[in-house]
Structure 1
Amino acid sequence: DTLKFDFLALLPQIEPIIGMVKDGSVLPGSAGLDADQMRAQFAEGRIGMIPGVSFDVGVYNDQFPAKCNWEVVDVPAFEDSGSPYKEFSDATSLLGVGKAALKHPEKVLEVLKFFYSDECAAQMYEASLYIPFRSEAIALATKEPERKGFKEFANVPDKVLMLPMPDTFITVEGTAYRDAFLSLLSDTNADPVAVITDVEKRYNDALASQVDPAVLETFRTPADRDIKR
Protein backbone atom coordinates (compact mmCIF):
# COMPACT_ATOMS: atom_id res chain seq x y z
CA ASP A 1 0.00 0.00 0.00
CA THR A 2 2.80 2.46 0.85
CA LEU A 3 5.47 1.04 -1.50
CA LYS A 4 7.86 1.04 1.44
CA PHE A 5 9.39 -1.78 3.47
CA ASP A 6 7.55 -2.33 6.76
CA PHE A 7 9.70 -4.84 8.63
CA LEU A 8 8.42 -3.64 12.00
CA ALA A 9 5.11 -5.29 11.13
CA LEU A 10 6.91 -8.61 11.74
CA LEU A 11 7.68 -7.74 15.37
CA PRO A 12 4.67 -9.68 16.77
CA GLN A 13 6.11 -12.79 15.11
CA ILE A 14 9.74 -12.21 16.01
CA GLU A 15 9.28 -11.47 19.73
CA PRO A 16 7.49 -14.75 20.63
CA ILE A 17 10.19 -16.73 18.81
CA ILE A 18 12.89 -14.89 20.77
CA GLY A 19 10.95 -15.88 23.89
CA MET A 20 10.99 -19.53 22.82
CA VAL A 21 14.77 -19.38 22.43
CA LYS A 22 15.14 -17.77 25.86
CA ASP A 23 12.97 -20.33 27.68
CA GLY A 24 14.64 -23.33 26.02
CA SER A 25 11.72 -24.42 23.84
CA VAL A 26 13.88 -24.41 20.71
CA LEU A 27 15.99 -27.45 19.81
CA PRO A 28 19.50 -26.91 21.22
CA GLY A 29 21.99 -26.17 18.48
CA SER A 30 19.28 -25.36 15.95
CA ALA A 31 21.16 -22.27 14.77
CA GLY A 32 23.84 -24.55 13.35
CA LEU A 33 21.50 -26.93 11.51
CA ASP A 34 20.68 -26.69 7.84
CA ALA A 35 17.17 -27.37 6.52
CA ASP A 36 17.64 -31.12 5.94
CA GLN A 37 19.22 -31.64 9.36
CA MET A 38 16.22 -29.96 10.98
CA ARG A 39 13.82 -32.08 8.93
CA ALA A 40 15.68 -35.24 9.94
CA GLN A 41 15.36 -34.27 13.62
CA PHE A 42 11.63 -33.68 13.16
CA ALA A 43 11.23 -37.05 11.42
CA GLU A 44 12.88 -38.69 14.43
CA GLY A 45 10.28 -37.12 16.70
CA ARG A 46 12.70 -34.80 18.48
CA ILE A 47 10.99 -31.56 17.39
CA GLY A 48 7.37 -30.94 18.35
CA MET A 49 6.64 -28.34 15.66
CA ILE A 50 8.44 -27.14 12.57
CA PRO A 51 7.39 -24.73 9.80
CA GLY A 52 6.69 -26.56 6.57
CA VAL A 53 5.77 -26.11 2.92
CA SER A 54 4.00 -28.35 0.44
CA PHE A 55 7.14 -30.12 -0.81
CA ASP A 56 7.88 -31.22 2.76
CA VAL A 57 5.13 -33.77 2.22
CA GLY A 58 7.62 -35.67 0.05
CA VAL A 59 10.35 -35.17 2.65
CA TYR A 60 8.44 -36.85 5.50
CA ASN A 61 6.93 -39.56 3.32
CA ASP A 62 10.06 -40.50 1.37
CA GLN A 63 13.31 -38.64 2.07
CA PHE A 64 13.14 -38.86 5.86
CA PRO A 65 10.19 -41.20 6.59
CA ALA A 66 8.75 -39.83 9.82
CA LYS A 67 8.79 -42.09 12.88
CA CYS A 68 6.12 -39.90 14.50
CA ASN A 69 2.46 -39.50 13.57
CA TRP A 70 2.78 -36.01 12.09
CA GLU A 71 0.10 -33.84 10.57
CA VAL A 72 -0.19 -30.43 8.92
CA VAL A 73 -1.80 -27.69 11.02
CA ASP A 74 -2.25 -23.94 10.66
CA VAL A 75 0.57 -21.69 11.78
CA PRO A 76 -0.13 -20.85 15.46
CA ALA A 77 -1.85 -17.51 16.03
CA PHE A 78 -1.11 -15.09 18.84
CA GLU A 79 -4.77 -14.42 19.57
CA ASP A 80 -7.52 -16.79 20.70
CA SER A 81 -9.62 -15.82 17.68
CA GLY A 82 -6.90 -17.13 15.35
CA SER A 83 -5.16 -15.39 12.51
CA PRO A 84 -7.37 -13.09 10.41
CA TYR A 85 -5.14 -13.62 7.36
CA LYS A 86 -4.89 -16.31 4.73
CA GLU A 87 -1.68 -18.33 4.43
CA PHE A 88 0.58 -17.27 1.58
CA SER A 89 1.66 -19.42 -1.31
CA ASP A 90 4.49 -18.76 -3.73
CA ALA A 91 3.69 -19.22 -7.40
CA THR A 92 6.34 -21.24 -9.23
CA SER A 93 6.57 -22.23 -12.87
CA LEU A 94 5.78 -25.85 -13.66
CA LEU A 95 7.69 -25.86 -16.96
CA GLY A 96 10.53 -24.00 -18.62
CA VAL A 97 10.82 -23.55 -22.38
CA GLY A 98 14.26 -23.98 -23.91
CA LYS A 99 15.64 -21.72 -26.63
CA ALA A 100 15.41 -24.45 -29.28
CA ALA A 101 11.66 -24.53 -28.76
CA LEU A 102 11.38 -21.07 -30.31
CA LYS A 103 11.62 -22.76 -33.71
CA HIS A 104 8.25 -24.45 -33.12
CA PRO A 105 6.10 -21.99 -31.14
CA GLU A 106 2.78 -23.53 -32.13
CA LYS A 107 3.81 -26.99 -30.93
CA VAL A 108 5.28 -25.57 -27.73
CA LEU A 109 2.03 -23.75 -27.02
CA GLU A 110 0.08 -27.00 -27.34
CA VAL A 111 2.41 -28.69 -24.83
CA LEU A 112 2.02 -25.81 -22.38
CA LYS A 113 -1.75 -25.82 -22.81
CA PHE A 114 -1.80 -29.53 -21.99
CA PHE A 115 0.31 -29.33 -18.84
CA TYR A 116 -1.39 -26.19 -17.55
CA SER A 117 -4.91 -27.40 -18.27
CA ASP A 118 -7.31 -27.88 -15.37
CA GLU A 119 -7.58 -31.56 -16.29
CA CYS A 120 -3.83 -32.17 -15.99
CA ALA A 121 -3.56 -30.08 -12.83
CA ALA A 122 -6.37 -32.14 -11.29
CA GLN A 123 -4.49 -35.39 -11.93
CA MET A 124 -1.27 -33.97 -10.45
CA TYR A 125 -3.27 -32.76 -7.45
CA GLU A 126 -4.59 -36.30 -6.94
CA ALA A 127 -1.01 -37.62 -7.02
CA SER A 128 0.19 -34.95 -4.53
CA LEU A 129 2.55 -33.44 -7.09
CA TYR A 130 1.13 -29.98 -7.72
CA ILE A 131 -1.16 -27.45 -6.07
CA PRO A 132 -3.39 -25.95 -8.79
CA PHE A 133 -3.80 -22.19 -8.86
CA ARG A 134 -7.45 -22.63 -9.77
CA SER A 135 -10.07 -24.15 -7.49
CA GLU A 136 -11.83 -25.21 -10.71
CA ALA A 137 -9.01 -27.71 -11.30
CA ILE A 138 -9.38 -29.17 -7.83
CA ALA A 139 -13.11 -29.54 -8.47
CA LEU A 140 -12.27 -31.87 -11.37
CA ALA A 141 -10.30 -34.26 -9.14
CA THR A 142 -11.95 -37.64 -8.70
CA LYS A 143 -10.17 -38.43 -5.42
CA GLU A 144 -8.29 -36.78 -2.59
CA PRO A 145 -4.48 -36.35 -2.80
CA GLU A 146 -2.64 -39.61 -2.12
CA ARG A 147 0.16 -38.42 0.13
CA LYS A 148 -0.21 -37.78 3.83
CA GLY A 149 -0.41 -34.05 4.55
CA PHE A 150 -0.78 -32.77 0.97
CA LYS A 151 -4.50 -32.02 1.07
CA GLU A 152 -4.00 -29.50 3.90
CA PHE A 153 -1.44 -27.55 1.89
CA ALA A 154 -3.67 -27.57 -1.19
CA ASN A 155 -6.57 -25.69 0.41
CA VAL A 156 -6.58 -23.08 -2.37
CA PRO A 157 -9.47 -20.85 -1.16
CA ASP A 158 -7.57 -20.27 2.09
CA LYS A 159 -4.35 -19.20 0.33
CA VAL A 160 -3.17 -15.93 -1.14
CA LEU A 161 -0.38 -15.58 -3.70
CA MET A 162 2.66 -13.88 -2.19
CA LEU A 163 3.59 -10.72 -4.04
CA PRO A 164 7.18 -10.30 -5.28
CA MET A 165 9.61 -8.42 -3.07
CA PRO A 166 11.67 -5.62 -4.63
CA ASP A 167 14.84 -6.37 -2.64
CA THR A 168 16.52 -7.75 -5.78
CA PHE A 169 16.32 -4.26 -7.34
CA ILE A 170 18.49 -2.61 -4.69
CA THR A 171 21.91 -2.84 -3.10
CA VAL A 172 21.69 -2.39 0.67
CA GLU A 173 24.66 -1.49 2.81
CA GLY A 174 25.04 -3.45 6.01
CA THR A 175 23.30 -6.58 7.21
CA ALA A 176 20.57 -8.07 5.02
CA TYR A 177 17.14 -8.37 6.63
CA ARG A 178 17.24 -12.18 6.82
CA ASP A 179 20.61 -12.14 8.61
CA ALA A 180 19.41 -9.39 10.94
CA PHE A 181 16.40 -11.45 12.00
CA LEU A 182 18.55 -14.54 12.54
CA SER A 183 20.97 -12.53 14.67
CA LEU A 184 18.12 -11.72 17.05
CA LEU A 185 17.70 -15.44 17.73
CA SER A 186 21.38 -15.90 18.58
CA ASP A 187 21.66 -12.68 20.61
CA THR A 188 18.40 -12.61 22.53
CA ASN A 189 19.60 -9.62 24.59
CA ALA A 190 19.60 -7.40 21.53
CA ASP A 191 16.80 -4.86 21.12
CA PRO A 192 14.57 -6.21 18.31
CA VAL A 193 12.91 -2.82 17.76
CA ALA A 194 16.26 -1.10 17.28
CA VAL A 195 17.60 -3.85 15.00
CA ILE A 196 14.51 -3.96 12.80
CA THR A 197 14.17 -0.17 12.69
CA ASP A 198 17.74 0.04 11.40
CA VAL A 199 17.02 -2.60 8.74
CA GLU A 200 13.83 -0.83 7.67
CA LYS A 201 15.57 2.54 7.30
CA ARG A 202 18.46 1.15 5.24
CA TYR A 203 16.13 -0.73 2.89
CA ASN A 204 13.81 2.22 2.38
CA ASP A 205 16.74 4.59 1.79
CA ALA A 206 18.06 2.22 -0.88
CA LEU A 207 14.61 1.85 -2.41
CA ALA A 208 14.09 5.60 -2.65
CA SER A 209 17.49 6.29 -4.17
CA GLN A 210 17.92 3.32 -6.52
CA VAL A 211 14.52 2.35 -7.95
CA ASP A 212 12.53 4.31 -10.50
CA PRO A 213 9.08 5.15 -9.04
CA ALA A 214 7.41 3.72 -12.16
CA VAL A 215 9.15 0.37 -11.61
CA LEU A 216 8.29 0.42 -7.93
CA GLU A 217 4.64 1.02 -8.79
CA THR A 218 4.46 -2.47 -10.32
CA PHE A 219 4.81 -3.90 -6.80
CA ARG A 220 1.75 -2.10 -5.44
CA THR A 221 -0.84 -4.33 -3.77
CA PRO A 222 -3.89 -4.77 -6.02
CA ALA A 223 -6.91 -2.99 -4.59
CA ASP A 224 -9.06 -6.13 -4.90
CA ARG A 225 -6.52 -8.49 -3.32
CA ASP A 226 -8.31 -10.51 -0.64
CA ILE A 227 -5.86 -11.43 2.11
CA LYS A 228 -8.41 -11.89 4.89
CA ARG A 229 -9.88 -15.27 5.71
Structure 2
Amino acid sequence: MESLDKYANHFDASYPAYADARYLGILALVSKYDSDSASTLLASESFKQALDIILPVIAIKNYKSQIPFPEDVLAVVETVLEVRGATIDASDRFKNLTLLFNRLEATQGFQLPTISAVFHFCHPESFPIVDVNVQAACKALIDRNPELAEYEYPKLPAPRSSVKNKIKKYKLFIAVIDKILDLHREKNIINNYRCLDKALMVLGALQLKKTTDAVIS
Protein backbone atom coordinates (compact mmCIF):
# COMPACT_ATOMS: atom_id res chain seq x y z
CA MET A 1 0.00 0.00 0.00
CA GLU A 2 1.15 3.55 -0.67
CA SER A 3 2.76 5.36 2.23
CA LEU A 4 0.67 8.13 3.78
CA ASP A 5 3.61 9.71 5.59
CA LYS A 6 3.79 12.65 3.20
CA TYR A 7 0.21 13.60 4.02
CA ALA A 8 0.71 13.25 7.77
CA ASN A 9 3.85 15.40 7.57
CA HIS A 10 1.85 18.17 5.91
CA PHE A 11 -0.91 18.22 8.53
CA ASP A 12 0.40 21.02 10.76
CA ALA A 13 0.79 23.36 7.79
CA SER A 14 -2.68 22.51 6.49
CA TYR A 15 -4.50 22.53 9.82
CA PRO A 16 -2.60 24.67 12.35
CA ALA A 17 -5.78 25.07 14.44
CA TYR A 18 -5.84 21.28 14.97
CA ALA A 19 -2.16 20.79 15.76
CA ASP A 20 -0.89 18.54 18.54
CA ALA A 21 -0.95 21.21 21.25
CA ARG A 22 -4.71 21.62 20.96
CA TYR A 23 -5.28 17.87 20.56
CA LEU A 24 -3.22 17.04 23.65
CA GLY A 25 -4.99 19.82 25.52
CA ILE A 26 -8.36 18.19 24.87
CA LEU A 27 -7.03 14.81 26.03
CA ALA A 28 -5.88 16.50 29.25
CA LEU A 29 -9.30 18.10 29.74
CA VAL A 30 -11.10 14.79 29.22
CA SER A 31 -8.81 13.13 31.76
CA LYS A 32 -10.46 15.29 34.42
CA TYR A 33 -13.46 12.99 34.07
CA ASP A 34 -11.35 10.28 35.69
CA SER A 35 -11.58 12.06 39.01
CA ASP A 36 -13.82 10.53 41.67
CA SER A 37 -15.20 13.99 42.35
CA ALA A 38 -16.51 14.54 38.79
CA SER A 39 -19.88 12.84 39.35
CA THR A 40 -20.27 14.54 42.73
CA LEU A 41 -19.70 17.94 41.18
CA LEU A 42 -22.33 17.32 38.49
CA ALA A 43 -24.90 16.50 41.15
CA SER A 44 -24.07 19.54 43.27
CA GLU A 45 -26.25 22.59 43.72
CA SER A 46 -23.35 24.86 42.77
CA PHE A 47 -23.13 23.20 39.35
CA LYS A 48 -26.85 23.75 38.77
CA GLN A 49 -26.46 27.40 39.74
CA ALA A 50 -23.56 27.77 37.30
CA LEU A 51 -25.72 26.28 34.54
CA ASP A 52 -28.38 28.92 35.15
CA ILE A 53 -25.80 31.57 34.29
CA ILE A 54 -24.44 29.67 31.26
CA LEU A 55 -27.79 28.78 29.65
CA PRO A 56 -28.62 32.33 28.43
CA VAL A 57 -25.34 32.38 26.47
CA ILE A 58 -26.17 29.02 24.89
CA ALA A 59 -29.68 30.17 24.03
CA ILE A 60 -28.37 33.33 22.33
CA LYS A 61 -25.74 31.38 20.42
CA ASN A 62 -28.29 28.80 19.23
CA TYR A 63 -30.71 31.52 18.14
CA LYS A 64 -28.47 32.22 15.14
CA SER A 65 -26.62 28.92 14.77
CA GLN A 66 -27.32 26.17 12.25
CA ILE A 67 -25.53 23.64 14.46
CA PRO A 68 -26.88 24.17 17.96
CA PHE A 69 -24.99 23.62 21.17
CA PRO A 70 -26.93 21.29 23.49
CA GLU A 71 -28.96 23.22 26.03
CA ASP A 72 -29.21 20.23 28.35
CA VAL A 73 -25.55 20.54 29.30
CA LEU A 74 -25.88 18.36 32.38
CA ALA A 75 -27.21 15.38 30.42
CA VAL A 76 -24.46 15.69 27.81
CA VAL A 77 -21.67 15.90 30.38
CA GLU A 78 -23.11 12.95 32.27
CA THR A 79 -23.16 10.90 29.07
CA VAL A 80 -19.60 11.81 28.11
CA LEU A 81 -18.53 10.97 31.65
CA GLU A 82 -20.08 7.53 31.20
CA VAL A 83 -18.37 7.10 27.82
CA ARG A 84 -15.05 7.90 29.44
CA GLY A 85 -15.65 5.40 32.23
CA ALA A 86 -16.84 2.58 29.97
CA THR A 87 -14.70 -0.52 29.54
CA ILE A 88 -13.82 -1.32 25.93
CA ASP A 89 -14.41 -4.95 24.98
CA ALA A 90 -11.69 -6.00 22.54
CA SER A 91 -14.06 -8.37 20.74
CA ASP A 92 -16.79 -5.72 20.33
CA ARG A 93 -15.74 -2.18 21.09
CA PHE A 94 -19.38 -0.98 20.97
CA LYS A 95 -20.59 -3.57 23.47
CA ASN A 96 -20.65 -1.17 26.43
CA LEU A 97 -21.17 1.99 24.40
CA THR A 98 -24.19 1.41 22.16
CA LEU A 99 -26.69 2.92 24.59
CA LEU A 100 -24.41 5.91 25.15
CA PHE A 101 -24.02 6.34 21.39
CA ASN A 102 -27.82 6.34 21.13
CA ARG A 103 -28.09 8.93 23.86
CA LEU A 104 -25.56 11.24 22.22
CA GLU A 105 -27.20 10.80 18.81
CA ALA A 106 -30.47 12.00 20.32
CA THR A 107 -28.72 15.09 21.71
CA GLN A 108 -29.13 18.49 20.12
CA GLY A 109 -26.31 19.23 17.66
CA PHE A 110 -24.68 15.77 17.73
CA GLN A 111 -24.09 13.87 14.48
CA LEU A 112 -21.58 11.09 13.75
CA PRO A 113 -18.50 13.34 13.33
CA THR A 114 -19.05 14.88 16.77
CA ILE A 115 -19.94 11.55 18.40
CA SER A 116 -16.84 9.95 16.88
CA ALA A 117 -14.76 12.79 18.35
CA VAL A 118 -16.29 12.19 21.79
CA PHE A 119 -15.54 8.48 21.55
CA HIS A 120 -12.01 9.15 20.29
CA PHE A 121 -11.02 11.62 23.00
CA CYS A 122 -12.48 9.33 25.66
CA HIS A 123 -10.82 6.22 24.16
CA PRO A 124 -8.16 7.34 21.64
CA GLU A 125 -6.82 3.82 21.05
CA SER A 126 -10.23 2.36 20.20
CA PHE A 127 -12.17 4.90 18.12
CA PRO A 128 -11.14 7.07 15.16
CA ILE A 129 -12.64 10.46 14.31
CA VAL A 130 -14.58 10.56 11.03
CA ASP A 131 -15.75 13.45 8.86
CA VAL A 132 -16.07 14.45 5.19
CA ASN A 133 -12.29 14.60 4.74
CA VAL A 134 -11.83 11.11 6.14
CA GLN A 135 -14.67 9.88 3.94
CA ALA A 136 -13.01 11.31 0.81
CA ALA A 137 -9.61 9.93 1.81
CA CYS A 138 -10.97 6.43 2.40
CA LYS A 139 -12.65 6.40 -1.00
CA ALA A 140 -9.44 7.51 -2.70
CA LEU A 141 -7.37 4.87 -0.92
CA ILE A 142 -9.85 2.10 -1.73
CA ASP A 143 -9.72 3.13 -5.39
CA ARG A 144 -5.91 3.26 -5.49
CA ASN A 145 -4.82 0.30 -3.36
CA PRO A 146 -5.57 -3.36 -4.15
CA GLU A 147 -5.27 -4.26 -0.45
CA LEU A 148 -8.46 -2.28 0.15
CA ALA A 149 -10.42 -3.32 -2.93
CA GLU A 150 -12.76 -5.61 -0.97
CA TYR A 151 -13.94 -2.80 1.31
CA GLU A 152 -17.12 -0.80 0.84
CA TYR A 153 -16.79 2.97 0.59
CA PRO A 154 -17.57 4.33 4.07
CA LYS A 155 -20.03 7.21 3.96
CA LEU A 156 -21.37 9.57 6.59
CA PRO A 157 -25.02 8.85 7.34
CA ALA A 158 -27.78 11.29 6.53
CA PRO A 159 -28.59 13.44 9.58
CA ARG A 160 -32.13 12.06 9.85
CA SER A 161 -31.21 8.41 9.37
CA SER A 162 -31.71 5.94 12.21
CA VAL A 163 -29.24 5.60 15.05
CA LYS A 164 -28.79 1.96 14.04
CA ASN A 165 -27.69 3.10 10.58
CA LYS A 166 -25.29 5.64 12.07
CA ILE A 167 -23.57 2.98 14.15
CA LYS A 168 -23.41 0.74 11.07
CA LYS A 169 -21.81 3.56 9.06
CA TYR A 170 -19.30 4.24 11.82
CA LYS A 171 -18.34 0.57 11.91
CA LEU A 172 -17.72 0.66 8.15
CA PHE A 173 -15.36 3.61 8.66
CA ILE A 174 -13.58 1.77 11.46
CA ALA A 175 -13.12 -1.36 9.33
CA VAL A 176 -11.42 0.59 6.53
CA ILE A 177 -9.38 2.78 8.88
CA ASP A 178 -8.22 -0.23 10.90
CA LYS A 179 -7.06 -1.97 7.73
CA ILE A 180 -5.14 1.13 6.61
CA LEU A 181 -3.60 1.39 10.06
CA ASP A 182 -2.61 -2.28 10.05
CA LEU A 183 -0.83 -1.76 6.72
CA HIS A 184 1.16 1.08 8.31
CA ARG A 185 1.85 -0.46 11.74
CA GLU A 186 5.57 -0.92 11.09
CA LYS A 187 6.01 2.65 9.93
CA ASN A 188 7.52 5.23 12.27
CA ILE A 189 4.93 7.94 11.72
CA ILE A 190 1.51 6.37 11.20
CA ASN A 191 1.07 3.93 14.06
CA ASN A 192 -2.12 5.09 15.80
CA TYR A 193 -5.46 6.75 15.06
CA ARG A 194 -4.17 10.26 15.70
CA CYS A 195 -1.31 9.94 13.24
CA LEU A 196 -3.50 8.31 10.63
CA ASP A 197 -6.16 10.97 11.08
CA LYS A 198 -3.60 13.62 10.17
CA ALA A 199 -2.85 11.84 6.89
CA LEU A 200 -6.51 11.21 6.06
CA MET A 201 -7.47 14.82 6.78
CA VAL A 202 -4.88 16.15 4.35
CA LEU A 203 -5.51 13.54 1.66
CA GLY A 204 -9.26 13.98 2.00
CA ALA A 205 -9.02 17.75 1.61
CA LEU A 206 -7.00 17.30 -1.57
CA GLN A 207 -9.57 14.86 -2.93
CA LEU A 208 -12.47 17.17 -2.11
CA LYS A 209 -10.70 20.07 -3.80
CA LYS A 210 -10.05 17.94 -6.86
CA THR A 211 -13.72 16.97 -7.04
CA THR A 212 -14.85 20.58 -6.61
CA ASP A 213 -12.42 21.81 -9.26
CA ALA A 214 -13.65 19.16 -11.68
CA VAL A 215 -17.26 20.21 -11.15
CA ILE A 216 -16.46 23.90 -11.58
CA SER A 217 -14.41 23.34 -14.72
TM-score by length of 1: 0.27
Q: Which has the greater radius of gyration?
A: 1
